[in-house]
Amino acid sequence: MPKARINLKLDLHTGGAQKKTELPLKLLVAGDFSHGAETALLSERVKTDVNKNNFNSVLSEYSPKVNLTVVNTLVADGSEENISLVFRDMKDFTPEEVARQIPQLKSHAGDA
């Protein structure tokens, strides 16, 4: 079994015998990440294997999106702005790429 970044070390006690073993940490994350676009029941959906080699392609395929309402701190009037962020690549999580997706920050950066 290949060595994983995180391994679980177990002391197994079976039938009076003690055995030490190490297993890779594997997670199953279940949820509706389609933002309501998928109509099939969660139990009927196909599992997607995500690993370090296909992470960006899976992220691009699913393109998760988050919609937020935030206080506009660029003006002192207490107004709120609706922000929509889409993530297609790991670099989309960097501050620079997040700022590029927010029109108020893009225009503000252009003033500097």
Distance in angstroms (rounded) separating the CA atoms of residues 82 and 71: 9
pLDDT of residue 45: 86
Q: What is the pLDDT of residues 31-48, one digit of tens each?
A: 777 777 888 888 888 888
The dihedral region occupied by 16, where left means phi > 0, alpha psi between -120 and 50, and beta the remainder, is left
What's the CA angle centered on 64, arms 63 and 69, to 5 degrees?
130
Could you identify the residue written with the tokens 């935030």? Answer: 70
pTM flag (> 0.85): no
Q: What is the Cα–Cα distance from 83 to 85, expressed in whole angstroms? A: 7
Position 80 scores a pLDDT of 94
